[in-house]
Chains A and B, each alone.
Chain A
Amino acid sequence: MRHVLSALVQNVPGVLAHISGMLASRGYNIDSLAVGETEEPNLSRMTFVVVGDDKILEQVRKQLEKIVTVVRVIDVSSKDHVERDLMLMKVKAETGEKRSEIRELADIFRGRIVDVGADELMVEISGRENKIVAFIDRMRPYGITELVRTGRIAMVRSAESNE
């Protein structure tokens, strides 16, 4: 099972090292981890994608909550939520024909060409995991030269978030 956990943490030095160290030392399998500031400058948000059964999820959550600098942990995936991942990708595009194909595909996936090199294009795309993966698959035949992803971020929809 795949779960998205969102942790609100104090924005103090070492908190990322502490959390990633805890996850590693307890052998939890983390698919993705994204960190950034929140609306409050003294708090950061970490989003984890954890793979494991309910028992593992419960332990990950409790172990996270036990860390003094972790303020709150929410299992986002148990609620109605929006999930996004941002990707930048360089794809080989030596000929005009390939360039237009890539551009067309990027349009279909609501991606954007953000840089044009002599023989490659840089595409920016965001969305859910399955969409990103589908786009990567479409681009493989052209030759992906570089790929970078932010990792998952997620937010509970308003209707259910007033807890």
Chain B
Amino acid sequence: MAATKSATDSQVMSGADILVKCLADHGVEVLFAYPGGASMPLHQALTRYADKMRTILPRHEQGGVFAAQGYARATGKPGVAMATSGPGATNMVTAIADAKLDSVPVICITGQVPSHVIGTDAFQETPIVEVCRGITKHHYMILDIADIPRIVKEAFHVATTGRPGPVLIDIPKDVQQSQVVPHWDAPMQLPGYQIRDRHAQPEQIKQVAAAIKRAKRPIIYAGGGLNASEGSAALRELVDKTGIPVTMTVMGLGVFPNEHPLSLDMLGMHGSVYANYAVRDCDLLLGLGVRFDDRVTGKLEAFAKHAKIVHIDIDPSELNKNKEAHIPIVSDVKYALEALNKIVEPPEDISDWVEQCQAWKEKHPLRYDESFDGILQQHAIAELSKLTQDRDTYITVGVGQHQMWSAQFYKFKKPRTWHSSSGLGTMGFGLPAAMGVQAAFPDALVIDIDGDGSFQMNIQELATIHCEQLPVKILLLNNQHLGMVVQWEDRFMDGNRAHTYLGPIHHQEASGKGRSAFAQERYPDFVTIAKGYGIAARSVSKKSELREALEEMINHKGPFLLDVEVPYQEHVLPMIPTGRTADDIITE
């Protein structure tokens, strides 16, 4: 404070203005903010910076954070969301936890009750920093107005460096309202945050190159770290140089094109048979920006059982956490791959192995019943994929069957074009995330492929896409059920329906006694709902009309909802049941 007293009065600013100016100075061009009592000064300040930053009003704070995530996931830049204290802040919690698990850089700013009433159970008071400790990468409560520039600087630094993640800034209303002459250049105080040396050592790179040279059955297991480090091109180069097949996690989809001959597509619980067989039989597993998640590995002891494991990740705590690596390397994965590409030589002869992988791919392709009389979810996605390949397209999804089918049947070419709540598996992610992607890329084709369960968890954001002129398209695969849970009921619980039908409870489907592959009645009427929000919509149920309906959606100028009637007895396959191995894979 003393240092600032010599400045002139004209430089005095409110805490709210300082914080908002800091956001602008950090290059924030759009944020998603829902106002309330404790954040009103911030919103007033936002109006004064409207020429620098677009403020989008979501219709729920969770939608706001998911939109910020969509922005961050698509651009690689930090997304920003803002809410008021109490319920505004707690509404953000799920989406913050989601960002933590998927390593998404978001800055969440919450208003807090005035500092003199903190701890008195004041109106709309929650200890949001306490609530969020375990689900943020870092968190702050600003109690001294002089700390604002430093804390915002630290928040952006922490959120975007190393393994990215969410940072929470809680700022009491009186701090927003008080006045000070800001000290913009305050240095960061992060003695415990040293990420400078997260670079593979030359010795380690040599070890990896040697392992590749000796390998007979190598495979690359590529994850979200390749997105975070922008390592997609380096991965392509490694594959060009070595000819090693690639499989991707849900977070990794897009880092390597599905249509590449060496792509084995996704691995894991609902991954391809060929990817899972390849991991089962490989003698060298190159884990790049991955975390050996249980949905990928199934039974840990059996995963890549015969392989030498190389694990490269920027987060040291991921190494040896689930699966012990023979060559564990703490490194930015792009850095490591670029270093590797300089010295790597192809393995001596892996042609038999590559042929084996191709043979598996031909024998067990991702498939569905193309003769089905009606629209299958997989078919709708595959058609959409074909129709949008030549456009600048981004796909977001909710969580459940439609998510896995999208991962299987949409063919991705570029990183950051596929966005899924992967680690936390949050239903309702698709629409608000699409909104954030569209805000980042106004001219792109942004499509939320959603299920009727997931869609209704953040359906209020239809208002945002209409009012903010975000031309998001929604491909609603409407089976009237919570399809993934239904699938598990059918597979493991004798088909006993336990609250997985989304229509009225007296319907036969509610007790699992439906007589058709389709629900007999459709509830709610999504086309009418969309129209109520001012959004163009239509439904389609005939296979012969699907293509034309998809084209109408894609070519529509504004937002559009296409409600597709699909059956509820279709299962996502292949499937490896929890805790099992590739040998237990279910294919029909």
Residue ranges of B at the interface with A (Cβ–Cβ < 8 Å): 129-130, 133-134, 137-139, 141, 158, 189-193, 315-317, 320-321
Are A55 and B320 in contact, with the CB atoms below 8 A? yes
State whether A14 and B129 are in contact (beta carbons under 8 Å apart), knowing that A55-B320, A66-B317, A68-B158 are contacts in the complex. Answer: yes
Are A58 and B191 in contact, with the CB atoms below 8 A? no
A70 interface residue, CB < 8 Å from B?
yes
Residue ranges of A at the interface with B (Cβ–Cβ < 8 Å): 9-10, 13-14, 17-18, 21-22, 25, 43, 55, 58-59, 62-63, 65-72
Cα-based distance from A68 to B317 in the complex (angstroms):
14
State whether A68 and B133 are in contact (beta carbons under 8 Å apart), knowing that A55-B320, A59-B321, A63-B317 are contacts in the complex. Answer: no
A25 cross-chain contacts in B, Cβ below 8 A: 134
Cα-based distance from A72 to B190 in the complex (angstroms):
12
A63 cross-chain contacts in B, Cβ below 8 A: 317
Q: Assuming A59-B320, A62-B316, A68-B137, what are 11 further A-B pairs, CB within 8 angstroms?
A: A9-B192, A10-B192, A13-B141, A14-B133, A17-B130, A18-B133, A22-B133, A68-B190, A70-B192, A71-B192, A72-B192
Shortest beta-carbon distance, B322 to chain A, in Å?
Answer: 10
A17 cross-chain contacts in B, Cβ below 8 A: 130, 133
Cα-based distance from A67 to B130 in the complex (angstroms):
15
Cα-based distance from A63 to B191 in the complex (angstroms):
17
Are B138 and A68 in contact, with the CB atoms below 8 A? yes
Task: Specify the chain A residue showing the minimal Cβ separation from B141.
Answer: A13
Are A62 and B158 in contact, with the CB atoms below 8 A? no
Are B320 and A58 in contact, with the CB atoms below 8 A? yes
B158 cross-chain contacts in A, Cβ below 8 A: 68
B129 cross-chain contacts in A, Cβ below 8 A: 14
Q: Which of B134, B190, B317 sits near A21, CB closer than 8 Å?
A: B134
Shortest beta-carbon distance, B254 to chain A, in Å?
Answer: 27
B133 cross-chain contacts in A, Cβ below 8 A: 14, 17-18, 21-22
A-B contact pairs, 26 of them (CB 8 A): A10-B189, A10-B191, A10-B192, A13-B141, A14-B129, A14-B130, A14-B139, A17-B133, A18-B133, A21-B133, A22-B133, A22-B134, A25-B134, A55-B320, A58-B320, A59-B321, A62-B316, A63-B317, A65-B316, A66-B315, A66-B316, A66-B317, A68-B192, A69-B192, A70-B192, A71-B192
Are A67 and B316 in contact, with the CB atoms below 8 A? no
Shortest beta-carbon distance, B276 to chain A, in Å?
Answer: 26
A70 cross-chain contacts in B, Cβ below 8 A: 192
B130 cross-chain contacts in A, Cβ below 8 A: 14, 17
A67 cross-chain contacts in B, Cβ below 8 A: 192
Cα-based distance from A13 to B189 in the complex (angstroms):
15
Cα-based distance from A59 to B324 in the complex (angstroms):
12
Cα-based distance from A71 to B138 in the complex (angstroms):
14
Which of the listed residues B129, B134, B192 has the most CB atoms from chain A within 10 Å of its own CB? B192
Which of the listed residues A22, A62, A63, A72 has the most CB atoms from chain B within 10 Å of its own CB? A62
Are B317 and A62 in contact, with the CB atoms below 8 A? yes
B193 cross-chain contacts in A, Cβ below 8 A: 68
B139 cross-chain contacts in A, Cβ below 8 A: 14
Task: Specify the chain A residue showing the minimal Cβ separation from B135.
Answer: A25
Are B317 and A59 in contact, with the CB atoms below 8 A? yes
Shortest beta-carbon distance, A138 to chain B, in Å?
Answer: 42
Cα-based distance from A68 to B137 in the complex (angstroms):
8
Which of the listed residues A14, A59, A63 has the most CB atoms from chain B within 10 Å of its own CB? A14
Cα-based distance from A72 to B315 in the complex (angstroms):
16
Shortest beta-carbon distance, B189 to chain A, in Å?
Answer: 8
Task: Specify the chain B residue showing the minimal Cβ separation from A20.
Answer: B133
Cα-based distance from A100 to B387 in the complex (angstroms):
94
Shortest beta-carbon distance, A44 to chain B, in Å?
Answer: 12
A65 cross-chain contacts in B, Cβ below 8 A: 316-317
Cα-based distance from A10 to B129 in the complex (angstroms):
17
Cα-based distance from A41 to B399 in the complex (angstroms):
48
Task: Specify the chain B residue showing the minimal Cβ separation from A13.
Answer: B141
Shortest beta-carbon distance, A26 to chain B, in Å?
Answer: 9
B315 cross-chain contacts in A, Cβ below 8 A: 66
B192 cross-chain contacts in A, Cβ below 8 A: 9-10, 67-72
Task: Specify the chain B residue showing the minimal Cβ separation from A70.
Answer: B192
Cα-based distance from A66 to B129 in the complex (angstroms):
18
Shortest beta-carbon distance, A35 to chain B, in Å?
Answer: 16
Shortest beta-carbon distance, A37 to chain B, in Å?
Answer: 16
Task: Specify the chain B residue showing the minimal Cβ separation from A63.
Answer: B317
A66 cross-chain contacts in B, Cβ below 8 A: 315-317
Cα-based distance from A19 to B141 in the complex (angstroms):
17
Shortest beta-carbon contacts, A-B, top 9: A62-B317, A71-B192, A68-B138, A71-B191, A70-B192, A18-B133, A68-B193, A62-B316, A25-B134
A13 cross-chain contacts in B, Cβ below 8 A: 141
Cα-based distance from A18 to B140 in the complex (angstroms):
12
Cα-based distance from A124 to B189 in the complex (angstroms):
40
Task: Specify the chain B residue showing the minimal Cβ separation from A18.
Answer: B133
Shortest beta-carbon distance, A34 to chain B, in Å?
Answer: 19
Cα-based distance from A37 to B130 in the complex (angstroms):
22
Shortest beta-carbon distance, B200 to chain A, in Å?
Answer: 17
Shortest beta-carbon distance, A109 to chain B, in Å?
Answer: 39
Cα-based distance from A136 to B130 in the complex (angstroms):
37
Which of the listed residues B130, B317, B321 has the most CB atoms from chain A within 10 Å of its own CB? B317
Shortest beta-carbon distance, B274 to chain A, in Å?
Answer: 32
Cα-based distance from A73 to B141 in the complex (angstroms):
25
Task: Specify the chain A residue showing the minimal Cβ separation from B330.
Answer: A62
Cα-based distance from A72 to B193 in the complex (angstroms):
10
Cα-based distance from A10 to B190 in the complex (angstroms):
9
Shortest beta-carbon distance, B400 to chain A, in Å?
Answer: 27
Task: Specify the chain A residue showing the minimal Cβ separation from B154.
Answer: A68
B189 cross-chain contacts in A, Cβ below 8 A: 10
Task: Specify the chain B residue showing the minimal Cβ separation from A8.
Answer: B192
A62 cross-chain contacts in B, Cβ below 8 A: 316-317
Cα-based distance from A53 to B138 in the complex (angstroms):
29
A72 cross-chain contacts in B, Cβ below 8 A: 192
B320 cross-chain contacts in A, Cβ below 8 A: 55, 58-59
Cα-based distance from A62 to B320 in the complex (angstroms):
11
Shortest beta-carbon distance, A40 to chain B, in Å?
Answer: 10
Cα-based distance from A65 to B129 in the complex (angstroms):
20
Shortest beta-carbon distance, A130 to chain B, in Å?
Answer: 32
Cα-based distance from A88 to B584 in the complex (angstroms):
59
Task: Specify the chain A residue showing the minimal Cβ separation from B191.
Answer: A71
